[in-house]
Every structure is written in structure tokens, then in C-alpha cells.
A and B are shown apart, each in its own frame.
Chain A
Amino acid sequence: DIQLTQSPSFLSASVGDRVTITCRASQGISSYLAWYQQKPGKAPNLLIYAASTLQSGVPSRFSASKSGTEFTLTISSLQPEDFATYYCQQLNSYPHTFGQGTKLEIK
């Protein structure tokens, strides 16, 4: 199975900060990577698919990129509603594994 390792697991930041979350795949997954945001008690919400394509309705402060097997999600200027847990998921091969999550907390 393909393993996805997210870093950091926890991130403390302030409103207005620029933050980056990394997801590293254990082997090549082309661009078959998605990013999700999950708030407590809610289902995940798709932010990014195909490594860098912004899902419709997602604010433009979210962006993502790929370099080899390393993928990054960037939030350019944190807003209060962005404090949540973020997950990456690979859809290159089965099973479609998720990263362990990155919890973004208010500093």
C-alpha cells in the first residue's frame, strides 16, 4: 500500500499567517492526490484534487503543488474558519490511502 506521511501533525498559527502542510508519498502517485479540510463533528470537505486543482467554491487563499512525491498545501493568509484538520489522500492505486492528518490550531 502507498503510505502518505503528513508534516507537521500539529501546527499552531495566527490569523493572517501563511502556512504550508506537506504530504509525502512512499512511491510515485503521479498527480492523483487530493486535500481535504475537516472540522469537528463534520464530514471532510474537498479542497484540492489532481494535486493542484482548486475545487469549485474553495477560497483562492488555498493552493497546492507537487514536486516528485512531495505535495504541499498552502494557505496564504489564515482566516478564523481555516482552523481545522487537513488530510491528503492518494487515488493513484488501491487502497486509496489518507495521510494521518495535520491539525491546525490557533496560536
Chain B
Amino acid sequence: EVQLVEAGGGMVQPGGSLRLSCTASGFTFSSYWMSWVRQTPGKGLEWVANIKQDGSETNYVDSVRDRFTISRDNAKNSLYLQMNSLRVEDTAEYYCARGIMGAPRGLEYWGQGTQVTVSS
């Protein structure tokens, strides 16, 4: 059974940092693109970033570029999102998601999400 379990969320002041993690099981982690997607309360979904199977390519939405870093450790079946210089508008539920086998064509499995709250 495919499982994605996020951790690391919490409350932080503006300008602070958090590191989210996502531990994967039930599939060959190193074979899939992985993504982070966030959702603000009562609002829609926003794609944040993704990373290629071997970590050689990363992509970001402009609003987080240069502040957030996506990474992965295939030996640990883990995905990370280092979030620096956090802003109030980064407050959201953060999901990690696994792509469909091959090139990004959809997000097939999702974690349960971890809440990030940025507030003074």
C-alpha cells in the first residue's frame, strides 16, 4: 500500500523557517517525481514545487522560489521542503504527492497534509 506521511508543520513567526518532511512507503520512491502542493483554508490548491527522480531537476512556483528548497533522499525514501523567510501568505496545509510513473502527468497519491501557520 502506498503511503505518504508528512511531518514538520507548525506555527512560526514571519521571517522564520520550517523544514517539512514526507516519508514514503509501499513503492520504489526513487522511480517517481515528487511534489509539494499547498492549500489555504477554504481556498484552492496551489502547486509549490517538484523534484525529479534523481534530484537533478527541481521546479518552483515564483512565489516561493529563492525561499523554499525541495530535496529528496532516495536512500531514506524521504522528500523535504526547506522553507525560509516565511510569510503570512505561506500559511496553508502542505501536501506531498507522488506523480504518475514517468514524466509529470498527474499526482496519483497524496499524503494527509501538514499545517503550516505563519503568524506573529
A55 to B108, Cβ gap below 8 A? yes
* B60 within 8 Å of A (CB atoms): yes
Known contacts A89-B47, A95-B47; decide if A50 and B105 are in contact (CB<8 Å): yes
Closest A residue to B107 by beta carbon equals: A46
Closest A residue to B4 by beta carbon equals: A43
* B44 within 8 Å of A (CB atoms): yes
B104 to A96, Cβ gap below 8 A? yes
Contacts of A55 in B (CB 8 A): 106, 108
B105 to A43, Cβ gap below 8 A? no
A95 to B61, Cβ gap below 8 A? yes
Closest A residue to B112 by beta carbon equals: A43
* B31 within 8 Å of A (CB atoms): no
Other A-B pairs beyond A46-B108, A98-B45, A98-B47, 8, CB < 8 Å: A43-B95, A43-B110, A46-B107, A49-B100, A89-B45, A89-B106, A96-B47, A100-B44
Contact residues of A between 53 and 107, Cβ < 8 Å to B: 55, 87, 89, 91, 94-101
Contacts of B113 in A (CB 8 A): 43
B105 to A49, Cβ gap below 8 A? yes
Counted as pairs of residues, one from A and one from B, with CB atoms less than 8 Å apart, the total is 62
Contact with A along B97-117 (1 / 0, CB 8 A): 100100011111011110000
Give chain A's interface residues, CB within 8 Å of chain B: 1, 32, 34, 36, 38, 43-46, 48-50, 55, 87, 89, 91, 94-101
Give chain B's interface residues, CB within 8 Å of chain A: 35, 37, 44-47, 50, 59-62, 95, 97, 100, 104-108, 110-113
Known contacts A96-B47, A98-B47; decide if A44 and B107 are in contact (CB<8 Å): yes
Q: How far is the CA of A43 from the CA of B97 in the complex (A)?
A: 10
Find B44's partner among A50, A91, A101 (CB 8 Å cutoff): A101
Find A94's partner among B44, B59, B106 (CB 8 Å cutoff): B59
The distance from the CB of A45 to the nearest CB of chain B, in whole angstroms, is 8
Contacts of B104 in A (CB 8 A): 91, 96
Q: How far is the CA of A34 from the CA of B97 in the complex (A)?
A: 14
B59 to A91, Cβ gap below 8 A? no
Contacts of B62 in A (CB 8 A): 1, 95
